[in-house]
Structure 1
Amino acid sequence: SLPGCSSEAKELHNLLRQPHIQVSDALLSAHDSVAQKDYEPVLPPMPEELPDDEEATRIVCLVKNKQPLGATIKRNEATGEIFVARVIHGGLADRSGLLHAGDRIIEVNGFPVNGLEPEQVIQVVAKSQGTIMFKVVPITERPVHNQTMLYVRAMADYSPQQDPSIPCADAGMGFKKGDVLEIVDQTDALWWQARKLPSISACAGLIPSTNLLKRKQREFWWSQPYQPHGCIQTQEDLIAIDDKCVEAAGFRRSMRLCRRRSHSISQPSCHSRCATTCHGTLASPYEEVVRYQRLPQDTYRLIALLGPSGVGVNELRRRLIDINPGIFQGPIPYTTRAPKSYEESGREYHFTSREMFDNMVYNNKFLEYGEYKGNMYGTSIETVKEILTRKICVVDIEPNAIQAVRTHELKAYIIYVKPPSMDRLRQTRQDAQITTNYYINRPFKDEDFQDMEDAARKMESHYWHLFDNVIVNDSLQEACLQLLTAVRRAQDEPQWVPASWIRPTNQP
């Protein structure tokens, strides 16, 4: 006998003492004996009669740990029942996988919520520390969530705190023009869930969908007093910082002057050239973007500089080309004026007839063009494209030419040159000269600085979302170094670009 052993062990011992029984058979026999034992808990039998209106409920237990729940609720006005309106992507409820939009909440921490206002339920949840327990009736058919990731650039500002129609302002996410957003959920037709990049938070926020934000913009636009069209500019007296007559080929003073005499410029239709800046804000508050990395065999990206008159855009451009003319080049403009004795066609300008120039205008061959002292000047798109096949083309443009360079062919990298503070303008421009419509090479005045600051404010208000880089021209040498770094990044590092550049459509 084996005292202290179980009956199964004794049986195994006896089997092993029999010589005609193999060890493997003994082990299998003992295993079968043990397997026949029932060690599972015995559940009570189901009641024979269940009420027809009995609903399956679920107990959901979450640990808050000082983080938001990440869900919004709503109340059925007819029945008074409280439902989960939406689960915020990346929040606590979403990560748990236990709460879903449409689940009906019965209790919160044992407290019945039926008939309460959503604000009262929120207070119960807010007071709960550590573990919070929900008793819910789960939704029978969960909606199919659209989890396709979409990246967009905001073309408008939005503040949830100033939006009375948002379901939950605390769950909203504000953004500014130019911000890149990752759209993580488009299930709701009115309210999307998104993160602002670069994001360190896993929890998304609510933003208006394209259609909803478009409607809000339309309502806001109609409520505003009339303002002149964004493409119509007033004549400016201040033109540019004088570059002591050292001008790179293609950037003659006459070209710079004519561009700014916009009252005398005949340009292509505003809709075709300013679709985003003029009409696009109402038409598309979000611009789909993708991450783009230029490959070594690809053509270079166009570098487009712009800024308020007098800030030194042309001087920065000239210095960049002088740093390495084997890499950087500017386009040679077309003009209808007669060549001077020392000028050669194709070197200073492409000299052409007025008829030929008008034909090029009609066929949209220019990035921008204008008239000065009865002569026409323009920058040809084909000239720019030809340069980009072998060098980095650098141009300075006016804001109304932005849309002409933001194409899948040119892939313009737009650098905004911003003036420093008024005090720094006075210090850094003491010995500088400007060129005006009426005076040549006169010193700066305080009103010139004020005009520059006002023009910069208007330019940033209308076009900030289209700038890929911003350089403050405080010190010309430092600004030039920043420009060189930005140009290299534009060619060598991944950038957010309009999706239409990578997936061009047949639309004009």
Structure 2
Amino acid sequence: MDDLKTVQCSDEGRELYEILQSPHIQALLSSHDSIARLDYEPVLPPLPEELPGDQDAMRIVCLVKNNQPLGATIKRDEETGEIYIARVIHGGLADRSGLLHTGDLLLEVNGNPVEGLEPEQVIQILIHSQGTILFKVIPNKPQTTATNSSVFMRAMVDYSPQQDWSLPCPDVGMSFRKGQLLEVVDQTDGHWWQARRLPTTSSCAGLIPSTSMLKSKQREQWWSQPLPIDTCSAVCAYSVSPLCASAGFRRSLRLWRRMAYRGCRLSCSSCYSCSPHSTSLSNPYEEVVLYQRSPQENPRLIVLVGTSGVGVNELRKNLIRMKPSLFKGPIPHTTRPMREGEQTGREYHFVTRELFEYMVCNNRFLEYGLCRGHLYGTSSDAIREVLKKGRICIIDAEPHSLHALRSRKLKPYVIFIRPPERDVLRLTRQHARILTSCCSCRDYEELEEASGLMEMKYRQLFDRTVENGRLEEATAELLSVIQEAQEEEQWVPAPWSVPEDSETSFLT
């Protein structure tokens, strides 16, 4: 400004002088000068005077620990006894600083040599260190590594790092439950991945077992525990929610299910979570992608799941009754003779026993059974027929049938129907027909227990949960949820995004 006063200026110079004289600019410059004269923490310690001649042989790293973990794990080389950085946690302090890298050899921490120490002793030094931490490291040789892109997965099992003795550092382990969405940000380690739970507000990832690691843990746990026959029997006994439209067929299928599930007390080989060959054991994680149905695609199949007595069938019938042009149930198959007034393709698909058994051998039925000498079943063809006509096919199914339904062509949206609190349950069921004859002898406590057990075992397969307190309110909520499933983005298994011509079979 002094120069502008004394020098003969152009029009632009005079304009600049007026701008610099304005109160706002004067205040900005004054604030800048005041702040620039102040000292702020942290005050980094001076670098050691004696540094090795080879500048690349050693690095001095200063990090400020402000009530947060450093986000790195260390390991001891069994042969040399040296301590090195085993991994840098994605999003942690060390990762954000860009100063520590996997493989860096650790020499000192705050002036304390780490030679001869165990990793636990080094960790204790870090725990008792506050503020600025000075590391002396020998950098790892630069390696060209591919950039890791995030992969989104749904957890099919539960995991607790506090109960995992093999976790390198329990403090950086991340727990998750069945059905939770995980963003896997690093898979470079074959045993331990880095991931975040979704939705999350934390940028720092946690350690979770890789697929192979978790499979190994599950096999060990399964073989070391007794077979939970009573648990499976409880689920089988309380999971009687008929699947098809006709009242006669529903009664027949109820009888068949009750007889069939008694066999679960003798054999548990078909139980989802008890067999070592179950899907949860072979695939502890399921890769998922965001999917939004296009108007040209068939509607998504809607599957209602719940224990007997919770009102699944009543909700399904209420939806079809309210919007018959939008919702429809599949027409079941049967081998019984056609009765007067019935028409094939309306009440049932009447077929011969030979054709029915042929369809069974070719896995065409989602459920089937024998009652009073006749076979009954609901086929995948019947479901696809409803969807091809542009109507939303809505069924209620047993949880163990969901694996047969989960295919790219059907893209089922599974809604778990949960009973309300006991007081609401008792009030709403006093004069309602929701408690059917097959479960009216059970009290409300047993219904809650059965529902909780089913949700605990199968929640990884459920997309949403709806509480069925009052029928009208639950139906309205279901309508809203179904609309979201058809019109908004949803997380679905990654194979469902594969083009149709690449899928060779209907059931995956």
**TM-score by shorter chain over 0.5:** yes
Range with bigger deviation, 55-64 or 297-306 = 55-64
Residue 374 of structure 1 deviates from its aligned partner by 2.1
Q: Tell me the SS of whatever aligns to 2:496.
A: helix
1:251 and 1:137, CA in 2 relative to 1: closer, same or farther beyond 3 A?
farther
Q: Where in structure 2 are the equivalents of 1:139-150 lying within 5 Å?
A: 139-142=140-143, 144=145, 147-150=148-151
Identity of aligned residues (%): 53
Contact 1:307 1:418 in 2 (8 A): yes
- Once residues 165 and 295 of structure 1 are traced to their aligned partners in structure 2, the CA distance between those partners, rounded to angstroms, is 46
Residue 225 of structure 1 deviates from its aligned partner by 0.5
Task: Give me the TM-score of the superposition, normalised by structure 2.
Answer: 0.80
Equivalent in 493, 503, 506 of residue 488 of structure 2: 493
1:228 and 1:74, CA in 2 relative to 1: closer, same or farther beyond 3 A?
same
Residue 403 of structure 2 corresponds to which residue in structure 1?
403
1:54 and 1:67, CA in 2 relative to 1: closer, same or farther beyond 3 A?
closer
Q: Where in structure 2 are the equivalents of 1:273-422 lying within 5 Å?
A: 279-389=278-388, 390-422=390-422
Tell me the amino acid that sits aligned with residue 325 of structure 2: G
Tell me the amino acid that sits aligned with residue 486 of structure 2: Q
Residue 251 of structure 1 deviates from its aligned partner by 7.8
- Once residues 59 and 237 of structure 1 are traced to their aligned partners in structure 2, the CA distance between those partners, rounded to angstroms, is 64
Range with bigger deviation, 482-491 or 249-258 = 249-258
Tell me the amino acid that sits aligned with residue 397 of structure 2: I
- Once residues 264 and 60 of structure 1 are traced to their aligned partners in structure 2, the CA distance between those partners, rounded to angstroms, is 64
Contact 2:330 2:378 in 1 (8 A): yes
Task: Give me the TM-score of the superposition, normalised by structure 1.
Answer: 0.80
Range with bigger deviation, 253-262 or 481-490 = 253-262
Residue 174 of structure 1 deviates from its aligned partner by 0.5
Residue 458 of structure 1 deviates from its aligned partner by 3.0
Residue 116 of structure 1 deviates from its aligned partner by 2.2
- Once residues 238 and 161 of structure 1 are traced to their aligned partners in structure 2, the CA distance between those partners, rounded to angstroms, is 33
Residue 461 of structure 1 deviates from its aligned partner by 2.8
Residues paired across the two proteins, number: 445
- Give the gaps of 5 or more residues in structure 1: 1-49, 242-246, 438-442
Contact 2:287 2:493 in 1 (8 A): yes
Residue 170 of structure 1 corresponds to which residue in structure 2?
171
Residue 343 of structure 1 deviates from its aligned partner by 2.4
* Cα displacement string for residues 341-395 of structure 1 (whole angstroms, at most 9, x for unaligned residues): 2322222222222222222212222221122222221112112112112111101
- Once residues 493 and 350 of structure 2 are traced to their aligned partners in structure 1, the CA distance between those partners, rounded to angstroms, is 35
Residue 15 of structure 1 corresponds to which residue in structure 2?
none
* Cα displacement string for residues 142-161 of structure 1 (whole angstroms, at most 9, x for unaligned residues): 36256132111111111111
Residue 70 of structure 1 corresponds to which residue in structure 2?
71
Contact 2:369 2:375 in 1 (8 A): yes
Residue 97 of structure 2 corresponds to which residue in structure 1?
96
Residue 432 of structure 1 deviates from its aligned partner by 3.3
- Once residues 274 and 196 of structure 2 are traced to their aligned partners in structure 1, the CA distance between those partners, rounded to angstroms, is 23
- Once residues 98 and 493 of structure 1 are traced to their aligned partners in structure 2, the CA distance between those partners, rounded to angstroms, is 42
- Once residues 483 and 297 of structure 1 are traced to their aligned partners in structure 2, the CA distance between those partners, rounded to angstroms, is 24
- Once residues 505 and 185 of structure 1 are traced to their aligned partners in structure 2, the CA distance between those partners, rounded to angstroms, is 30
Residue 122 of structure 1 deviates from its aligned partner by 2.1
* Cα displacement string for residues 286-332 of structure 1 (whole angstroms, at most 9, x for unaligned residues): 11111111111111110011110111101000111122111111111
Contact 1:254 1:372 in 2 (8 A): no
Residue 3 of structure 2 corresponds to which residue in structure 1?
none
* Cα displacement string for residues 402-440 of structure 1 (whole angstroms, at most 9, x for unaligned residues): 111111111111111112233332222112344446xxx
1:279 and 1:155, CA in 2 relative to 1: closer, same or farther beyond 3 A?
same
Q: Where in structure 2 are the equivalents of 1:2-151 lying within 5 Å?
A: 56-142=57-143, 144=145, 147-151=148-152
Aligned-pair Cα RMSD in Å:
3.1
Q: Tell me the SS of whatever aligns to 1:261.
A: helix
- Once residues 129 and 296 of structure 2 are traced to their aligned partners in structure 1, the CA distance between those partners, rounded to angstroms, is 60
Contact 2:238 2:307 in 1 (8 A): no
Residue 426 of structure 1 corresponds to which residue in structure 2?
426
Q: Tell me the SS of whatever aligns to 1:290.
A: strand
Pair 1:484-2:501 in alignment:
no
* Cα displacement string for residues 264-293 of structure 1 (whole angstroms, at most 9, x for unaligned residues): 899xxx999969986112211111111111
* Cα displacement string for residues 69-102 of structure 1 (whole angstroms, at most 9, x for unaligned residues): 1111122344332211110011111111110011
Tell me the amino acid that sits aligned with residue 312 of structure 2: V
